[in-house]
């Protein structure tokens, strides 16, 4: 029996010349992809090889991964996994999108990541290459303040779920939040890590976050204490 028949996730060989350290990382990711039969790990491998100078290592570090894994677990607890049409706003490299799309417990019709930084697009598309090939993933370069989910049109349909894990980055958070349709299912994360210059909208406590983003129906709220900061999460209907 061919090895790729026995284990369908069988990473393709890489022709490019890689530095010894890069090849070692690639080989380990290949092995993990086979062991866990994970197309997500294969996509990470391909993204790392294609974009060696990106900030992928930061986007996938243990703290970033913990915050997203926390979200995935509590979102499943809150919804039972039926998500429909998902929008991840200010979604950076699309790590959370890949986690959700590679988790077979979730029913996702389509998942779009929107970010204003065009340099994120090729990296997010590579990280979600398997789902993009299946027509389940797309990326759009836009300022999320320009989106109008109350009057969906063109490529923007109705949102069943809107996720924003970058609330600490939004200087005009109140304008953005006011523009979301009432009743929409939301997952929001913010933090108290105010020493980072890009963090222009930190909150000090979970209560302060709830005041900033009031929900008519709160399904989950909690905090996750990391070494240097605390991350806050709200799941509910606006
Ligand atoms: C450093 S990243 C994400 C950090 C966050 N903890 C996470 O992983 O979700 C913040 C992202 O927000 C995006 N962003 C900030 N303001 C935005 C806006 N108004 N519209 C679209 N994207 C925005 C940035 O381009 C960047 O990719």
**Ligand 1, atom 24: nearest CA belongs to which residue?**
90
Judgement on whether residues 7 and 122 belong to the same structural domain of the protein: no
Two tokens at 2? 């061919």
Do 108 and 138 belong to one domain? yes
Q: Angle 39-50/20-36 helices, nearest 10 degrees?
A: 160
Q: For position 149, what pLDDT does the model report? A: 86
Q: How many residues does the chain have?
A: 238
Q: What is the CATH number of the domain that holds 228?
A: 3.40.50.150
- Position 29 scores a pLDDT of 97
Distance CA 23, CA 1 (A): 28
Residue 87: name the closest of 67, 118, 63, 108 by CA: 108
Q: How far is the CA of 114 from the centre of ligand 1 (A)?
A: 9
pLDDT per position as a tens digit, 178-224: 999 999 999 999 999 999 999 999 999 999 999 999 999 999 999 99
pLDDT of residue 67: 97
* Ligand 1 close to Cβ of residue 147 (< 6 A): no
Q: Does ligand 1 have an atom closer than 6 angstroms to the CB of 117?
A: yes
106 plus 13 within the same structural domain: no
Instruction: Choose which residue among 116, 163, 171, 201 to substitute to test ligand 1 binding: the one with the highest number of ligand atoms within 8 A of its C-beta.
Output: 116
Q: What percent of the chain has pLDDT over 70?
A: 98
- What is the predicted pLDDT for the residue at 155? 64
Q: pLDDT tens digits, residue range 110-168?
A: 999 999 999 999 999 999 999 999 999 999 999 999 988 888 776 667 899 999 999 99
For the chain, give the secondary structure using H, E and C.
CCHHHHCCCCCCCCCCCCCHHHHHHHHHHHHHHHHHCCHHHHHHHHHHHHCCCCCHHHHCCHHHHHHHHHHHHHHHHHHCCEEEEEEEECCCCCHHHHHHHCCCCCEEEEEEEEECCCCHHHHHHHHCHHHHHCCCEEEEECCHHHCCCCCCCCCCCCCCEEEECCHHHCCCHHHHHHCCCCCCEEEEEEECCCCCCCCCCCCCCHHHHHHHCCCCEEEEEEEEECCCCEEEEEEEEC
Number of domains in the chain: 2
> Is 166 near ligand 1, meaning CB less than 6 Å away?
yes
Q: How confident is the model at residue 15 (pLDDT cuts 50, 70, 90)?
A: confident
Pairing mode of beta strands 82-89, 161-164: parallel
Q: Is 64's C-beta closer than 6 angstroms to any atom of ligand 1?
A: yes
Best mutation site among 55, 92, 167, 176 for ligand 1, i.e. most ligand atoms within 8 A of its Cβ? 92
Ligand 1 within 6 A of CB of 116: yes
Please tell me whether residues 97 and 10 are part of one structural domain: no
Closest Cα to atom 14 of ligand 1: 90
Q: Are residues 103 and 21 in the same domain?
A: no
Residue 113: beta bridge partners?
88, 139
Are residues 25 and 132 both part of a single domain?
no
Q: Is 175's C-beta closer than 6 angstroms to any atom of ligand 1?
A: no
- Do 167 and 227 lie in one domain? The reply is yes
The reported pLDDT for the residue numbered 154 is: 63
- The per-residue pLDDT for 222 is 98
Residues 42-67 have pLDDT tens digits of 999 999 999 999 999 999 999 999 99
Q: Which residue has the higher pLDDT, 155 or 173?
A: 173
- Least confident residue range of 12-16, 68-72, 185-189: 12-16
Domain end residue (candidates: 33, 53, 73): 53
Pull the structure tokens for residue 47. 């993204």
Q: Structural domain of residue 131, as residue ranges?
A: 62-237
* pLDDT for position 43: 97
The pair of structure tokens assigned to 116 is 């204003």
Give yes or no: residues 66 and 46 share one domain: no
Whether 115 lines ligand 1, by a CB cut-off of 6 Å, is: yes
- On whether both 114 and 228 belong to a single domain, the answer is yes
Same domain, 26 and 49: yes
User: CB count, 10 Å around CB of 105?
Assistant: 10
40 and 148 in a single domain? The answer is no
Q: Which residue has the higher pLDDT, 17 or 154?
A: 17
Residue 190 has a pLDDT of: 98
Residues 22 and 131 in one domain: no
């Amino acid at each position: 029996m061919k090895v790729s028949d026995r284990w369908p996730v069988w990473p393709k060989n890489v022709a490019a010349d890689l530095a010894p350290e890069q090849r070692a990382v690639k080989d380990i990711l290949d092995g993990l992809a086979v062991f866990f039969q994970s197309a997500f790990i294969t996509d990470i491998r391909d993204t790392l090889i294609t974009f060696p100078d990106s900030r992928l290592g930061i986007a996938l570090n243990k703290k970033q991964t913990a915050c997203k894994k926390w979200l995935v677990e509590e979102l499943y607890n809150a919804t039972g996994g039926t998500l429909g049409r998902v929008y991840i706003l200010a979604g950076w490299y699309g790590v959370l999108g890949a986690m959700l799309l590679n988790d077979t417990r979730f029913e996702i019709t389509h998942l779009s990541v929107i970010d204003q930084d065009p340099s994120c697009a090729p990296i997010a598309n590579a990280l979600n290459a398997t789902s993009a090939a299946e027509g389940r993933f797309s990326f759009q370069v836009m300022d999320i303040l320009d989106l109008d989910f109350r009057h969906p049109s063109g490529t923007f349909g109705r949102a069943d779920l809107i996720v924003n894990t970058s609330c600490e980055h939004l200087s005009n958070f109140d304008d953005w939040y006011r523009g979301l349709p009432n009743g929409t299912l939301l997952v929001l994360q913010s933090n108290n890590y105010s020493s980072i210059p890009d963090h222009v909208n930190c909150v000090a406590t979970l209560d302060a976050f709830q005041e900033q983003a009031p929900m008519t129906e709160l399904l989950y709220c909690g905090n996750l204490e990391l070494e240097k900061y605390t991350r806050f999460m709200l799941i509910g209907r606006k």
